[in-house]
A = this chain, B = another copy of it.
């Protein structure tokens, strides 16, 4: 499957988003997109899960970032977050997947607050 079919016009394939680099506000690469989280009913992408650090998948931290906080930058060929790496390191994150509850509204609000988004 060529790149052409995975990124055309306004649409991008999920397998193309996964692994795409993420840059901080200063243009430095700070990590990559591990996956996006999709609302099963509406089909809306709500979060990108970024990974930073770790070695061979061990000891990596995962940062759920609201999709609207990322902007695709064609010159960087990656997503740019509006925050610096230093600030992102203080963002809500998890290492052990079982410790993160996507369905918990308080958790969702804490992420929205961190990224300066409106909270329901």
Chain A contacts to B: CB under 8 angstroms: 1-2, 4-6, 8-18, 34-47, 49, 62, 67-68, 72, 94, 97-98, 100-103
Contact = CB atoms under 8 A, between A and B. Distances in A.
Query: Chain A: interface secondary structure?
Result: mixed
15 contacts: A4-B98, A5-B102, A8-B102, A10-B39, A10-B40, A11-B39, A11-B47, A13-B35, A13-B38, A14-B36, A14-B45, A15-B18, A15-B35, A38-B45, A45-B45
- Which of A2, A9, A38 has most chain B Cβ within 10 Å? A38
B40 A38 contact: no
Given A8-B103, A103-B8, A13 B36 contact: yes
A16 to B, nearest CB: 8
B36 A5 contact: no
Contacts of A100: 5
Contacts of A49: 13
A55 B29 CA distance: 38
Contacts of A15: 14, 18, 35
